A = this chain, B = another copy of it.
Amino acid sequence: MQPLTESHKPSIADIEGAYTTIKSEIHRTPILTCRGINSILNANIFFKCENFQKVGAFKYRGATNAVLNLPLSEAKFGVATHSSGNHAAALALAAAKRGIPAYIVMPDNAPSIKKKAVAGYGATITFCPPTQQAREETLGQIQKETGAAFIHPYNNHNVICGQGTTTLELFEDVSDLDIVIAPVGGGGLLSGTATYAKEKNPSVKVYGAEPANADDAYRSLRDGTIYPSVNPKTIADGLLTSLCPLTYSIISAKCDGILTVPEDTIANAMRMVWERMKIIIEPSSAVPIAAIMANPSLFREQRVGVIISGGNVDLDNLPW
State whether A278 touches B279 (Cβ < 8 A). Answer: yes
State whether B315 touches A275 (Cβ < 8 A). Answer: yes
Q: Within 8 Å CB of A65, what residues of B? A: none
A278 to B58, CA, bound (A): 14
State whether A316 touches B311 (Cβ < 8 A). Answer: no
Q: Within 8 Å CB of A278, what residues of B? A: 51-52, 56, 279-281, 311
Interface residues as binary, A263-291 with B (CB distance below 8 Å gives 1, 0 otherwise): 00000000100110111110000000000
A278 to B316, CA, bound (A): 15
A280 to B316, CA, bound (A): 15
8 contacts between A and B (CB under 8 A): A51-B278, A52-B277, A56-B278, A274-B280, A278-B281, A278-B311, A279-B279, A318-B318
A52 to B36, CA, bound (A): 13
A279 to B281, CA, bound (A): 9
A30 to B320, CA, bound (A): 29
Q: Whole-angstrom distance from the CB of A78 to the nearest CB of chain B?
A: 24
State whether A315 touches B318 (Cβ < 8 A). Answer: yes
With both beta carbons as reference points, the residue of chain B lying nearest to A271 in the complex is identified as B315
Q: Whole-angstrom distance from the CB of A139 to the nearest CB of chain B?
A: 29
Total residues of chain A contacting the partner, CB 8 A: 17
A30 to B277, CA, bound (A): 13
A197 to B212, CA, bound (A): 53
Interface residues as binary, A52-73 with B (CB distance below 8 Å gives 1, 0 otherwise): 1000100000000000000000
| Residue with the highest number of chain B CB atoms closer than 10 Å, among A52, A275, A316 | A275
A57 to B99, CA, bound (A): 43
A300 to B11, CA, bound (A): 48
Q: Within 8 Å CB of A52, what residues of B? A: 277-278
A275 to B311, CA, bound (A): 8
A280 to B273, CA, bound (A): 10
A318 to B275, CA, bound (A): 13
With both beta carbons as reference points, the residue of chain B lying nearest to A275 in the complex is identified as B315
